[in-house]
Amino acid sequence: MNPAVQEYLDLGFDVIPLKENDKRPLLPGWNQLSPEEQWSQAPDGANLGIRCGGECRVCVIDCDDKNLPGTYVHVTRQLAGWGFTQNEYPVVQTASGVGRHIYLSLAGDLPAGNYSNLCAEFGTGEVRYGPGAYVVSPPSVVDGCQYGLLGGDFRQLPRIDVADIFQLTGNKPIIVNHEGWKDNDFIRIPRGVKVLLSGRKTDNYQSRSEVEQSILARLINAGNSYAQIEGFFLENIHKPGLAKFSEKYRKEPKCGLEWLRISYESAVRFCQTPSPATLHARQLMTWATSKAWEGRTGSTDRAVFIAHCQIAERAGKFEYGASVRELAELAGIGAMTADRATHRLSEAGYLTLVQAAVGDLSNKYRLEVHNDTLPKDTMCGSVSLCSYQQHDSFRRAFGGLGKSGFQIWQYLMDSPHGVSAKDIAKLTGRHITTVRRILNKMSQLIDTVTGEIFVLVEKSGDLWIAREIDLDTVSQILGTAGLGRKQKERHTDERRRHRKDLVRIWEQKNEQTDDFEAGRMQPVKEMDVTK
């Protein structure tokens, strides 16, 4: 056996034979047969491929710089933002000479599927993570060009969280959990799901299966796990919209759950294909990060607009439901502040309230910035960094950096060569005095416990440059660590109380109806609202 093959096997990699001078697997069933079985049939000149997933939980980011230069730079910059330097992970040069494969190991439950395409903001390529995906590995040769290790060590693959790596693809990882329902209290239920459950608008679908596929897709896009969805289906098994599942489950529970699992995985594959609405939401996020949001509330309005875009992107619909609490959590601000910002955005024409909240259904909105009105040439702030706006470091309370601080930091992170304070003010819409005050604060963060000075940004001549620093450390220094978690806990309690109130009101109405029908109470006279 090739010494390189044995070395990979000893490290725990699922290394498989590929055709000589080719990228294609040697044998059919390569994703199922053991490596040893495949290599027993391989010729001496076979190329090597590493199968993703497996014991090492291999995840490979394929940066296709041949088709779009700069992809590798954008990806590595994002990895650096998560604390991974280029020397920490293996980087392989492909046969083209310009393509790059980045090897990592996934932490957490593996999502369904095998690969997912990179967001357009990062470039072209894909994240490969499932056993149905593989990459050509060194020292393979294709068209006379050899795959080679540029840096890092295959013996030490850095572990990266599933949720983090999928920020590169724009798809929320859908975790397949077959252990059953564990927490269904606060499953996100879109308005459309409730409509279909009741049996309304099902005539728009050709079969019961299509109705349930639509329900599954909506629940997946809302960010729910398989465990939550399974519990939801079991809890609502009597509803008209789940007639197919109900029929199968009541006949044989095991078969019913297997049918649900297969349907779920099919819906996952469907959801991984971005809809026009998803692509539009991503474009609007790009626009929002490049636009100068002027005025005293500009940074807050920007953060809330991005939060709206994130919800629309996840929903994959032009019209989407968004609660004040969810917007507040995504923007990293208080609920009242998020509500006021949403009203300002509506008044400015960026949003339209399509349908007001009723019961436990949130407001439905539509983003009103259209493609034909978007700037043709913008300085693109890094959309991949938008999720950081909810970080505790950028909270306003207790002396945090606030949304203006996030906006400034985001522009500096996207400008590795530095930006002047004057240009930052112009790009962000913030007053030059505000920009200088925040920059000075970020350049000298003092730990009051140890006296240690931490530098988030530094000045070089007239230019300001962002430094690599752990934002969790920054939040600890600022005294804002844990604010986001406490907010979510508070919102969870509020949602629980709200749902209990709705149940209580519903029960009271039913009791009043029963009493009236039994003749135990008189009808209530309607109030004259004109008085």
Q: Residue for token digits 């978007």?
A: 374
pLDDT at 184: 40
Range list of β-strands (E), 29-172: 47-51, 58-63, 91-93, 100-107, 115-117, 125-128, 134-137, 141-142, 145-146, 148-151, 159-161
- Fold that domain 276-373 belongs to in CATH: Arc Repressor Mutant, subunit A (1.10.10)
Hey, do 276-373 and 391-478 end up sharing a CATH topology, with the first three levels equal? yes
Give the residue extent of every domain in the chain: 3-168, 191-271, 276-373, 391-478, 491-531
Whole-number percent of the chain with pLDDT over 70: 88
pTM of the model: 0.51
In tens, the pLDDT along 335-363 reads: 999 999 999 999 999 999 998 887 667 89
pLDDT at 87: 81
Report the C-alpha gap between 255 and 257 in whole angstroms: 5
Per-residue pLDDT band at 185 (split at 50, 70, 90): very low
* Of 164-173, 180-189, 416-425, minimum mean pLDDT range: 180-189
* Of 1-5, 374-378, 393-397, 417-421, minimum mean pLDDT range: 374-378
Whole-number percent of the chain with pLDDT over 90: 33
- Fold that domain 3-168 belongs to in CATH: Prim-pol fold (3.30.2250)
- Fold that domain 391-478 belongs to in CATH: Arc Repressor Mutant, subunit A (1.10.10)
Report the C-alpha gap between 63 and 75 in whole angstroms: 8
pLDDT greater at residue 273 or residue 290:
290
Q: What is the mean pLDDT of the chain?
A: 83
Mean pLDDT computed over 186-201:
79
Report the C-alpha gap between 268 and 163 in whole angstroms: 16
